[in-house]
Amino acid sequence: MTSAEIRGLAGECGFELAGVAAAEPCGDRRKFRAWVDAGFAGAMRYLTDSRGPLRDDPRNLLASARSIICVGKLYNAAWPYSTQSSDPEWAWISRYAWGDDYHDAVRGGLQRLDAALRERCGPGYESRAAVDTAPLLERSYARLAGLGWIGRNTCLINQAAGSWFFLGELLTSLEIAPDGAPPDRCGTCRRCIDACPTAALVAAPDGVGYGLDARLCISYLTIELRGTIPEDRRAGTGAHVFGCDICQDVCPWNGRAPATTDPFCQPRNAAPPLARLAALSEPEFRSMFRGTAVTRARYSGFLRNVAVAMGNSGREEFRAPLERLAQSEDEVVAEHARWALERLAG
């Protein structure tokens, strides 16, 4: 099969982007090792434990792999960006978590694509699908497959469609001529670097380009980090209670990014009122965010984030809900609420 045929099939399966990379080690594995060695992964042990070496070669996931079909699924709902919102009473949730959990949507499309290929190729065809949970350098292979370049904000950027894409891969035993990587088109632009409130985009540890120090990133602090957020990093999170999109919101390539009407990513709770979130019981939290990525933060972590956002708002009307949170049996929530009360007083 040809790459063009693959793109046609992928489009029928709901993917706006598709391309093919060779299933072999790529040069970015050295960048990844340097990133890990620099401590930039923070407490994300799933990136640094025994699974780390598996990323060196995609054939560790499928021994018979010859090609990696890389796909991109658009999730840019037609709603404002976080940089266009200024209401201090609102929380902000990252765009990717507004609708249904993307793992299900991307995996479903990959399963349809896999079934179509299996029907065409018959016996001997082998494959394995991956949706960001497998030890695979997704962005690197997507770049090699022609889906885009890796920008200074460390996101994959497509010239025509921006960066609002979920990535998925289908490792296959098929021998398909690979596509080529596109040129880097960030030029001298550094809007993402200058806009990051926590200065998380820094010189890459290998000395080439930029990298993300996850320990400073709002998405890491509000999602991946369990327990206490370091005090010196709380003010920079602003009103974000789950993730952050600022480095994508300000990217010029996203200024003309297409929007999708796909039901899976339409907003349920893009910017809910902070007061409402602070009053949620655990069952109410689970009900409100069931089936979305927000549950990854867990109830305790989410209330921790809400308390910090309230403190950052400067709004006196949040004093009462913060005083309630300060009495929480969860000491992490209580401590962050006490910090927020001190910030309001200050």
Query: Given this model, what pLDDT does residue 85 score?
Result: 75
The Cα–Cα gap between 146 and 66 comes to 17
The Cα–Cα gap between 344 and 318 comes to 9
More confident residue, 83 or 231: 231
Query: Given this model, what pLDDT does residue 270 score?
Result: 84
Rg of the Cα trace of the chain? 21
Amino acid 180 reads G
What digits encode the pLDDT tens for the residues 166-213? 999 999 999 999 999 999 999 999 999 999 999 999 999 999 999 999
Q: What are the distances in angstroms from CA 19 to CA 24, 163, 181, 277, 301?
A: 15, 16, 10, 41, 38
Return the structure tokens found at 96.
Answer: 């990717």
* Rounded average pLDDT over 304-323: 97
The Cα–Cα gap between 149 and 174 comes to 25
pLDDT-based confidence at residue 133 (cuts at 50, 70, 90): confident
Quick one: what percent of the chain has pLDDT higher than 90? 91
What is the chain's mean pLDDT, rounded?
96
What digits encode the pLDDT tens for the residues 225-264? 999 999 999 999 999 999 999 999 999 999 999 999 999 9
Beta bridge partners of 216: none
Torsion over CA of 37, 40, 45 and 49, rounded to 10 degrees?
Answer: -20
- 323 phi and psi angles, rounded to 5 deg: -65, -35
Return the structure tokens found at 143.
Answer: 């770049």
Active-site position among 37, 132, 206, 262? 132
**206 included as an active-site residue:** no
- 234 phi and psi angles, rounded to 5 deg: -75, -45
Query: Given this model, what pLDDT does residue 122 score?
Result: 87
Is 325 in a helix, a strand, or coil?
Answer: helix
